[in-house]
Each structure stands twice: as C-alpha cells, then as structure tokens.
Amino acid sequence: MQNNFIKNIIKRKNVYLLLSPWLIIFIVFTILPIISAVFLSFTSYNILQPPKFNGFENYLRLFLDDDVFIIALKNTAIFAVITGPIGYIMSFIIAWMINDMSPRARSILTLLFYSPSLAGNVYFIWMFIFSGDSYGLINSNLLKLGIIKEPIYWLTDPKYNFWVCIVVLIWMSMGAGFLALVAGFKQLNYALFEAAAIDGIRNRWQELWYVTLPQMVPQLLISAVLSISGAFAVGYQCASLTGFPSTDYSTHTLVLHIQDYGYNRFEMGYASAIAVVLFVIMIVVWNVINKAINSMGD
Amino acid sequence: MLKRICCFVFVFVILITSFSINTFAATEEKNLPICKINLDTTNINGSEKTELKICDNDDKISAVISEGGYTTWQFTVSESGYYSLALEYFTIKGNGMDYEVALTIDDDFPCDGAERVTFPRVWEMQTADNGRFETDNRGNELMPSQKEIETTVKRNFADYSGMDDSPFSVFLEEGVHNIKITSLREDIAVKSVEIFNNPPLESYAKTLAKWEALYGKPKGDNIKTFEAEIIKQASSSAILPGYDRTSPATSPNSAKYIKLNTIGGENWKNSGEYIIWDFSIPEDGYYIFTFKYRQDLIRGLSVTRKLTIDDSIPFCEFKSLKFPYTNDFKQITITDNEGKPAYVYLKAGKHTLKLEATLGEMSKTLKPVEEIILKLNNMYRRIIMVTGVNPDTYRDYYFSKEIPMLFDVFKECSDGLKLYADNLEKMYGKGNETSLFYELAAQLDSFCKDDRTISARLDRFKSNISALAELVFNLKNQPLELDYFTVHQKDATIEKTNSTFLQRLLFRIKYFIYSFTSDYSQLGNVYDGEVLNVWVSVSDMGTTGAAAGREQAQLIKRMIDDYFTPQKNISVNLSLANTSEALMQSVISGNGPDVAMYLPKVSVMNLGVRGALASVTEMSNYNEVKERFLPASLIGFTSRDEVFALPDTLTYNMMFYRTDIFSEEGLTPPKTWDEFNNVMSILSKKNMQTGIPESQQIFEMFLLQNGSNIYNEKNTEVTLNTPKALEAFRQWTDLYVQYSLPVSFDFFNRFRTGEMPIGIVSLTMYNQLCIGAPELNGLWEMAPIPGGSQTCTTTGSVVIKGSGKEKSAFEFLDWWSSTETQKRYGNQLEVLLGTSSRYNTANIEAFSMLAWTKEELSVLRSQQEYLSDFSITPASYYVSRNITNAFRRVVYYYENSSEVMNRYSEDMNKELARKNKEFNLN
C-alpha cells in the first residue's frame, strides 16, 4: 500500500511538482497548525515556557468544570441556529429576487447588500445606535416617546445585548456566500425551465424546487459552508459591541472563549482544547448540511 | 404711592433698555490723542523686589522685577482720551514659562484683562550648517529643536489669550497718573513702558502716490524666493515646520526622504501668533509679495494675517490680508483693492517680513457672540432645572413664572444674533456661517411667542447652541500653512508651481515604492551592531495621559541621541510598537526589544510573572532610583520581592467642578462623602447630574477609604466578602441605585453644557478641557476627590530578560526616569505640542516642575499624598471582570449587593487558587 503510494508519486512526479506550491502552503499553514493544536490540547502551555504534557486534563476540565464553556457553547449554538439559517435564507431569497431585475439594478443592489461585510468595521455604527447613554439614538427616542423612563444599557445588560448581537450579525450576514448565490442564478440553464413548463410545472415554487435548486447545488453548498463557518466563528463582532468579556458572559462564544484563554490567561493548552472541540463540531455540522443539500430536489 | 412705583419701574425699564442698547451698539468714535510717552528706568518712582541692572549688551538699564515684586512710574497726560500701552522687555532666562504681569493705573485695573497680561519668551529654531535642518543618518530631516534666546521685545498690552488682540484702550484724564507693573510669574526685565497712540495708517493709494513722486514708477525684473520653513523667529515655540508629501509641488520635495517643507497650519492659528522671516533684495525698487499657502483646515472660510515689514505696517490695507480657503497649495499675490499687485518700495539689502494672525474686524463680532452663547447656555441650564433633560412635551411648565428673565434674555440674544449675523455677512458675504445665527434667532423669537414649544424643542435648542459655539471656535481659528514666499518686481514672471495630474501620479507611485524600502516604525538615527532596542507602545501612551503619537516618540529619540548616547556610549534604536500584545508575541518569538516603554501595569505583570522580565531591583542604584517615585506607583509592578518596571506615567482621578454653577447655587466643593452626597442631591433636585464613571477605580477608592483590600496578605484569597469590603461595594453601587447617577455618559460634553457640573474623572480630563473647551476658561477647577485615598493608573518601562544587554538597559532606565530627563521631556513636549500634551510623569519632582500654576500644583500635590494601590495577581483580569459583573447585577437588577458580591467572590477565589497553583505562588 505504502509502496504503491510512493510509486504513484514517482510515476506522476510532474503532476505533484505542479501541485507542490499549493501543497506546501496548505500543509504549512493549515495542516500543521491543526496538528499542533491537537498536540497542544494535551499539554499545559503558557507561551513563554515550554509545554508540559498533562493528558486529558484540559478536556476533563472543559467538559466537567468550566461553566463558561457551557455558556459559550450554548450561545454559539443559538447564534449559529438563528443567524446561520436566517442569513442563508435571506441571502438566497434576495439573490433570487435580484436575479429578476435589470442588470444595472442587479449590480447596484448586489453591492448594496454586500457592503456591510465589505466595509469591515462599519458595525461600529451600531454602537452609537445602541449606546447606553441617555442621548444614544434609540434611548433618546424611546425616552422622548415616553416608552422608557431610564436609559436601557443595550450593550451591557445581559437581557438585551444578546439580541442586539443577533440583529447586527444578521445585518452583516450577506457575505461572500451571497455573491456565490448571485453568480449561481446567472448560470442557470434556461432550456430546462422551458422543458419543465412543458412537463407541467404549475407555479414558481415548484420551478424553484425542482428546476432552479438542483442546478445550484455547488453554489448552495459553498454558501452554506461559508455561512455555517461564519456563524460558528462569531465572536469579535460581539466583543467589540458588548465588551470583552460581556456581562456575565451573555454574548460569550467559543471563539471568544479561545481568545480569553489564549490571550488573557495565556493558557494555550486549554485554548487549543477548546479549538479542537470547535473544529469537531464544525465538521459534524458541515457533514449534516452537505447531506441535506445533496438530497435537494430528489 | 402708585405713582412712585410707576416712576420707579419706568426708570428701571429705561435703565435696562439703555444697558442692553449699550452692549450691542457700535462703539462710537473715541478720542485718540496722538502721542508717545516713553518711561524708561530713569523715570521709576517706586519699586519693590526690583533690581536695576544691565542685562543687554547695548548698555541700557533694565528693571528686573522679581516674581511678586512691582515697579511704578509717574507720567503726565496732556489731553484726555484713550491711550494704548506697550512694554519693552528683555527676555532673561528663568523657568521657561511665559512672563505674566498685572497692570494698574492709579491703583486700579484700567480695563478687562489687565489683571494678567502675558508676555512671551522668544524661541529660535536650531538649524544645521547648510541653513536647513539636521538629518538623521538615513537622510530624513529632523524636527528642529528650539532654543530660548535673550533679546529685546516690544509688545502691546493686550489680551492675547482671548479673541481681541488689539491693544488695550485705556481712558486717561488730563493730568498726572501713576502706572504700576507687578510681576505675577517669572522675573521680568523691563526696559521701558510706552503710552502711545500711533497716527492712523495711510491708505495704499496715498502711499504709492507719495512714493511715485519720490522714486518714479514701478519697474525691474528682480525675483527671489524664500522657503517659509526657514524662519527667523516665531511668537511661540509650537510653531514648527511640517512636511507635506501629498504632491510634488511643495518645495523642497522628495519622495524618498522626509523633507520639512512647510510651516504653520494647525500650530499657527491663534490671533497674536506671528512668524518673522529674513529676506534680502538686490537693489532699491518696488516689490510685490507672493505667498504659496494652504488653508484647508477650516472649510469655506478665509483667514486673516497682518503683514509687517521692518517693524512697520506699510499701509492700512496690510492690517488684514485675506487668504481664502483652498484644499491644495496655491499662490496668492498681495494686491490692492482693485486686484492689481500691491507695490512696496524697499531699499536694497536685508529686511524682515512678519505675518501675524489677527482676527481684525471679526473680534468685535465674536466676543459678544461668545457672551450670547454663555447666556443661552445658562438659560438652557435654568430650563432643565425646571423640566429635566427629557421634558414632558404635553405639559405646560409656565416658564414665564418659573424663569422670569427668560424671555428678556431670549429677546436680547435674538436681537444680538441678528445684528452680528449682518456684520459677518458684510465681511464674508452670505453663507452657511450666518444661517445658523438666523436659525437660532428665529427659534428664540418663537420661544418668546409661545413658551409651550420650548419643552418639545429643547434638544434642537441645545444642539443649536453647541453648533454656534463650534462655529465661533472655528471662526476664531486662523490656521495658515506656508510653503514659500516670493519677493519680485513688476516685470518678473513667477513660475507656475502647480503640479499636473501626471506629475502627481508619478510622485505617488514613487512614494509608494519607497515605502517598501524604509522602515517607518524606526525613528531617527538607526544604528547597526551593538545597540539597545527600545520599543514605545503608542496606543498605551494615548490612554494614560502621555498622548499618542510619532511626535512624542521622535522627541524621546532625539533626547536619547543628544544626551544618553554621548554620556554612556550606548547606541539606541527606537521603534514604535502598536500594543503590548505585539510585544508579547515578539518576546515569544525571540525578536523582542531589550526595553519596552509605557506598558500598562497589567501587561507588565503578565510578562513579569511568566519570567520574561528582569527585576529592576537588580539595578545597582535601585534604592536611590525608587525615591523618584511615589511608593504607590510601584505597588502595581511588584510581585513578592521583585519589581518588574519603573513607572513612566501616573494618573489618578480628580474632582472637576464648574465654579460658576457652584457659586450660582451657593455650593462649595465637597471634601467628604457626606458633603458630596449632599451636593449630589441638591444638583439632582435642580435636574443636574453628577458624573462618576462605571470604573473599577471608583470601587478601589471606596475599598481603600473603608480600610479594605482586594486580596488577603498572601494573595491567596480575595477579601471582597469581608464586612468592610461589602460596605465599600454598597457605597459604590448606591451611587447608581440610590442617587441614580447615570452609568453611561460623555462627561466632557455634559460638563461643557453644565448639565453635569461636577464629576470624578481621570486627571487627563484636564488636558481635554484646556484645549477642547476654551469658552470654559476660568469657569472650572479641580480638587482632590472626597476622602482623598484612591488607587492610581500607571505605565512603566521594563527590561526584557535574557537579551544579555540588561546592564545597559538598566542604565537607560536610570537615565530615562531621572528628574532631569523627565522634566526636560515634559517641558519640551509642551513646547512642541501645547498645553494639551501636559505630561503626567511618575517622577514626582519632575511633575512639579511642569507648567502647572501654583494653585493647580498644590491641589495635585495634596491628592498625590493620598495615593495608594493594590497589588496585581495573575488572576487580576478575572477579579476585575467579576467586579464589573457584580456591579451590573446590582445596578441593573437591584439585587442585594452583599449577596451578589459573596457569590462572585467564590468564583474569584477558585480562579485565584488555580492561577497561584500554576505559578507556584503559595
């Protein structure tokens, strides 16, 4: 088996040679970090001193003795379940609607919907909108209308800040996945639509389900992967809105938990263990999504 | 009886109306007898703490008045009228601060502002041998250092701090008078005092006619260009050259190196600030002046300058020359009223050219408008005292009953605004500026008509007032940036210097390419071989009152090259680093520096407990060095018997309060918490607020004042659940629960409007208020916080362990933290960047040598005595986040404070035990 593998490489060395630049970069910057994270997750490592092996201690502590991890896991799951699908479905519907417009309107609207994620840190405007100051945009208007008597601390009160984050995340969710869908709609084969009409498609929903979607599986897949990984990687947006860490960890996510242990406490071993868990969760979720999308239109 | 009352009321009304007419009426013609009375040291008729001596080399005797002393003269005026005064003084060296004197005539201050008149020192820019600036060893020109020089200066008595820089106009009756000059700050060497009225300047047309009769018509083709950045003298040491690399049109110019090629801009904008240049011309004749300038800082407005040649203004038109708004460098030729170039007849040889920022006519408008703003702010405050900041729109508050004078003031202000808007329009033409005046005036009128609309439109009213204040602030600024000026004759052609688009594109491409080859994070001279690598953490400087930026780092580097390297023979490379996080990563990878400066105490301890830092106790003279600092400022860097940093900056909270509002309400600044609580309730009854930010420092203050600590003696457990600490926690949360102080607010803005006349905030607010709220000058003060004790915020310099250069690194720290160096750095920084960059050095001796006034210093001193601090443990980050959580539990959900704190204390103990185990600290 192994001999065969090496023989194969020697036989097709030209192919591997052409592949090598990408392969080297992939191994150095993706495979190695993953392996080293798995390795570090079994050690105690404070960055400045060499790592010490400590078996499953990190994992035991993570699952049995870390309340904040459970909160972070719960928050990440809720973020992923709410913002992932909503963002994904919104991307799809908007891309579908845009597709029927004139090319000019289409490109302008595409830019418009994509701009929040294009412009990077523009979500900072939400800090002014949701400011806890009584002169903040929402607070001052609610006070003026007499709906509230005291300013609401939108960003620091655990009752509200989670929902503020969700609003902002949905607003930002039209990312690269959205662009993939817009492109996907453009490459549809219109002969199939005619054929379907002749075969007796009754309305646009049927058309969408039986004709459009099966043609767009690759775009749907890439868009789903992007939105799922995006939803699981939520963190820095919440931290910059609600503070790091947020009050009683109300918007704490797994990514922030990793950051907390990695940069604030310098417990790299433990942070790696969280990262490994997040990695496993994402692989599982991705497999489920993959199966669901592939069965579309069947 | 009734008749009498009517009569009284009538007189009263007349009085009031005549008063208000007076304030806004145009000033009538004054009698200005032309004369010149010179009083030199031979005329002195009385003095105290004054010494007569020759300071100068021209044998003229000066009267050196020591701080607190005075000198008097007697003089006779032959005609009653208004007179101006000027002082001729010699700038003897002292403590480096500007001179301040009080002027009294016949034992009385003759006008506003005479209580304290500032006379500046003279600074000279140090240039290199080639007449330009020194360069570092990479070819970049360095910001020149400033040297104080001793010279004779003649300057009018005027209020240079305010807007009206025209000389005081003092009314003197015919007869004998006594003039007294008292020195308030620094020893001043007075050569003479002059009482004068200059004959009015002639117009250009008349002067030119006179010249033409003498010298004939303008002709010739001589042309000479002078770089504006090479100056002879400036009124302030903060007027420094800058560099513009946005286009190839500025001169001199290089895409690769930094060339200082302009002067002025942001640092040459206050009226009274001037620059003097030397220039020479080859032959007698008529000359024209052309300036290449830019005014892109104040949108749409032109700025004004007064042009003086050889100490005299040639004609009255030169008293206010306008430089219109332009966002790129542009040439402007000084012209007469008809747009033709204005000629000045000059003899061959050397001359001086002086441009002085002036408000000219505008000062007569801006000053009263500023008064209107103060009045309206006061009215706003009175309104919210009745309604609160969020008034009920549907309620009639009966303002005419509650605030009787409200409508009179509104009427008066509205009339004033309209009048001054007219005046401004005459000067600038119709424009955006004046529309705001009219809008506010219209609002005031409609308030007078129907006072029930006030409550609904209060927000708009407030934002209009602050927009007007902003506008006046902008109109007062007269920034002008100059590239060069050309002195030329009638037939000379000036080359066009505006670059084409292609040239600009090429320049930008070159600039971009060069940006790869030079390292901009390195500052000044860069050495190879055995050098000490020092990093400055810029972002941390910014948050701790040392102000952020390249200029500061450049100054540090300059001082290192000038003083440290020659003394100890150790070369230093200085680089800018963004954050302490970057430092952590570089230390891990082994590319770290040898010394890092301005690290916050938490970062210091993070590195320290993990063994990355050398303890400064290893310094050979540590016992001597530590005496430079308050013991409190070292606590945060100490872990057991190791100290990981020497403090750089030290900040703490001060109590800021508005003196005008306090005296209006009959309050005195509180010294104890009982008094403070009392003030809080009085203010809150009047719908005003007290500002105490949600910060752990406030909690720590209460802990200290209750005699508690965060940790027990061995740092094995938190002591926040002890009765004393729980009491402190209750006091802290009660501020927000019982007294309902706002948790989230912008102190600076609310302090300005007066909504929040008192607050306990960081000392760095001093810098912000000084520069950002000039209209509040003299209306606020700071005082020690109630109860005194509090913790402090520090940044420090650390030495990285294991570099092998610890010894020289310690020597560097020793030099840097010394009183001499810190004092020089603090003073130079202020010279360079103005009061806003007041440096809160941790070296207590150097701190007291900065430009604080005596009162400020004594207040700060008394606060410093009470400073203390808590030690930092590896679990500090966890403790502070849980304190915040506990605080919010109580303040947001009104939970029982003791219960909450007990619950969170358990969490903290758990983490503390874990971290102690990790570092074997038990």
Please tell me the predicted confidence (pLDDT) of residue B865.
92
How close does chain A come to B744, measured CA to CA in Å?
Answer: 5
**Contact state of B611 with A135 under an 8 Å Cβ cutoff:** no
Residues near B177 by beta carbon (within 8 Å), at least 6 away in sequence: B74, B75, B76, B77, B105, B106
3-state secondary structure labels for all residues of A193-252 = HHHHHHHCCCCHHHHHHHHHHHHCHHHHHHHHHHHHHHHHCCCHHHHHHHCCCCHHHCCC
The Cα-based distances of B98 to B145, B236, B350, B436, B771 in angstroms read 18, 10, 30, 38, 18
**Distance (Å, whole) CA A281 – CA A275:** 10
Instruction: Please tell me the number of Cα atoms within 13 Å of B610 on its side-chain side.
Output: 23
**Contact state of B888 with A134 under an 8 Å Cβ cutoff:** no
Residue A264's closest chain B neighbor by CA? B877
**A132 vs B581, B606, B744: nearest CB:** B744
- CB of B581 within 8 Å of any CB in chain A? yes
**Residues A242-264, mean pLDDT to the nearest whole number:** 89
pLDDT tens digits for B204-227? 989 999 999 999 888 888 899 999
pLDDT tens digits for B280-339? 999 999 999 999 999 888 777 788 899 999 988 888 888 888 888 888 888 899 988 888
Please tell me the predicted confidence (pLDDT) of residue B244.
82
pLDDT over 50 (residue B364):
yes
Tell me if residue B61 falls in helix, strand or coil: strand
How close does chain B come to A133, measured CA to CA in Å?
Answer: 5
**Contact state of B889 with A248 under an 8 Å Cβ cutoff:** yes
Please tell me the predicted confidence (pLDDT) of residue A162.
92
Q: Nearest CA to B826 among B97, B105, B278?
A: B97
**Contact state of A245 with B918 under an 8 Å Cβ cutoff:** no
Interface test with B, best of A67, A156, A161, A246 (most B CBs within 10 A): A156
Q: Nearest CA to B400 among B456, B464, B454?
A: B454
Please tell me the predicted confidence (pLDDT) of residue B722.
93
Size of interface A-B (CB pairs under 8 A): 61
pLDDT tens digits for A66-75? 889 999 999 9
Please tell me the predicted confidence (pLDDT) of residue B450.
85
pLDDT over 90 (residue A275):
yes
Confidence of residue B719 (pLDDT cuts 50, 70, 90): very high
- Residue B595: Cβ within 10 Å count: 25
pLDDT tens digits for A121-139? 667 788 888 988 888 889 8
**Contact state of A247 with B877 under an 8 Å Cβ cutoff:** no
pLDDT over 50 (residue B13):
no
- pLDDT > 70 in chain B, percent: 93
How close does chain B come to A281, measured CA to CA in Å?
Answer: 28
How close does chain A come to B93, measured CA to CA in Å?
Answer: 50
Contacts of B881 in chain A (CB under 8 A): 245
Residue A48's closest chain B neighbor by CA? B588
How close does chain B come to A132, measured CA to CA in Å?
Answer: 6
In angstroms and rounded to an integer, the radius of gyration of the C-alpha atoms of chain B is 31
Q: Nearest CA to A84 among A193, A192, A175?
A: A175
pLDDT tens digits for B392-426? 878 888 888 888 888 999 999 999 999 988 888 87
**Contact state of A46 with B918 under an 8 Å Cβ cutoff:** yes
Contacts of B588 in chain A (CB under 8 A): 47-48
**Contact state of A264 with B877 under an 8 Å Cβ cutoff:** yes
pLDDT over 80 (residue B1):
no
**Residues A168-191, mean pLDDT to the nearest whole number:** 87
pLDDT over 60 (residue B5):
no
**Contact state of A245 with B581 under an 8 Å Cβ cutoff:** no
pLDDT over 90 (residue A140):
no
Instruction: Please tell me the number of Cα atoms within 13 Å of B435 on its side-chain side.
Output: 3
Please tell me the predicted confidence (pLDDT) of residue B542.
47
**Contact state of B885 with A248 under an 8 Å Cβ cutoff:** yes
pLDDT over 80 (residue B16):
no
Summary mean pLDDT of chain B: 85
How close does chain A come to B792, measured CA to CA in Å?
Answer: 22
- CB of B920 within 8 Å of any CB in chain A? no
Burial of B195 (0-12, 13-18, 19+ CB in 10 A): buried
pLDDT over 70 (residue B14):
no
**Contact state of A248 with B888 under an 8 Å Cβ cutoff:** yes
- CB of B408 within 8 Å of any CB in chain A? no
Confidence of residue B17 (pLDDT cuts 50, 70, 90): very low
How close does chain A come to B409, measured CA to CA in Å?
Answer: 27
Q: Alpha-carbon torsion A242, A243, A248, A249, what sign?
A: positive
**Contact state of B612 with A48 under an 8 Å Cβ cutoff:** yes
pLDDT over 80 (residue A118):
no
- CB of B587 within 8 Å of any CB in chain A? yes
pLDDT tens digits for B127-139? 887 888 888 887 8
In angstroms and rounded to an integer, the radius of gyration of the C-alpha atoms of chain A is 24
How close does chain B come to A64, measured CA to CA in Å?
Answer: 15
Asked whether B724 and B731 are in contact (CB, 8 A), the reply is no
Confidence of residue B116 (pLDDT cuts 50, 70, 90): confident
Single-letter residue type at B605: M
Contacts of B587 in chain A (CB under 8 A): 48
Is the model more confident about B127 or about A248? A248
Please tell me the predicted confidence (pLDDT) of residue B548.
52
Interface test with B, best of A43, A45, A48, A150 (most B CBs within 10 A): A48
> Per mean pLDDT, which range of B81-95, B705-719, B765-779 is the poorest?
B765-779
Please tell me the predicted confidence (pLDDT) of residue B545.
44
Contacts of B745 in chain A (CB under 8 A): 133-134
pLDDT tens digits for A230-247? 888 888 888 888 888 888
pLDDT tens digits for B478-521? 889 999 999 999 888 887 767 788 888 888 888 888 878 777 67
pLDDT tens digits for A150-173? 888 899 899 999 999 998 888 888
Confidence of residue B783 (pLDDT cuts 50, 70, 90): very high
**Distance (Å, whole) CA B407 – CA B209:** 56
pLDDT over 50 (residue B379):
yes
Please tell me the predicted confidence (pLDDT) of residue A264.
81
Asked whether B875 and B908 are in contact (CB, 8 A), the reply is yes
Residues of A with CB under 8 A from a CB of B: 44, 46-49, 131-136, 140, 143-144, 146, 150-151, 153, 156-159, 245, 247-248, 263-266
Confidence of residue B843 (pLDDT cuts 50, 70, 90): very high
Contacts of B390 in chain A (CB under 8 A): 134, 140, 143-144
pLDDT over 70 (residue B801):
yes
**Contact state of B877 with A132 under an 8 Å Cβ cutoff:** no
**Distance (Å, whole) CA B53 – CA B60:** 9
Is the model more confident about B116 or about B841? B841
Tell me if residue B827 falls in helix, strand or coil: helix
**Distance (Å, whole) CA A113 – CA B154:** 66
| Selected residues 43-102 of chain B with any CB under 8 Å from a CB in chain A | none
Confidence of residue B185 (pLDDT cuts 50, 70, 90): confident
* Predicted-complex ipTM score: 0.85
Residue A50's closest chain B neighbor by CA? B588
Contacts of B610 in chain A (CB under 8 A): 46-49, 266
Please tell me the predicted confidence (pLDDT) of residue A46.
78
Q: Residue-wise over B875-910: b if at least 16 C-beta within 10 A, else e? A: bbbbbbbbbbbbbbbbbbeeeebbebbeebbebbbe
Contacts of A156 in chain B (CB under 8 A): 888
**Residues B113-119, mean pLDDT to the nearest whole number:** 84
Q: Alpha-carbon torsion A264, A266, A268, A271, what sign?
A: negative
Interface test with B, best of A266, A267, A268 (most B CBs within 10 A): A266
Contacts of B906 in chain A (CB under 8 A): none
Q: Residue-wise over B612-623: b if at least 16 C-beta within 10 A, else e? A: bbbbbeebeebe
How close does chain A come to B390, measured CA to CA in Å?
Answer: 6
Please tell me the predicted confidence (pLDDT) of residue B526.
80
Residue B904's closest chain A neighbor by CA? A248
Q: What is the DSSP letter of B290?
A: E
Summary mean pLDDT of chain A: 87
How close does chain A come to B459, measured CA to CA in Å?
Answer: 10
Confidence of residue A2 (pLDDT cuts 50, 70, 90): low
Interface test with A, best of B384, B387, B389, B390 (most A CBs within 10 A): B390
Please tell me the predicted confidence (pLDDT) of residue B20.
41
Q: DSSP per residue over A90-144, as a string? A: HHHHHHHHHHTS-HHHHHHHHHHHHHHHHTSGGGGHHHHHT-SSTTSHHHHHHHH
Is the model more confident about A69 or about A221? A69
Contacts of A151 in chain B (CB under 8 A): 742, 744
pLDDT tens digits for A20-53? 999 999 999 999 999 999 999 999 887 777 888 9
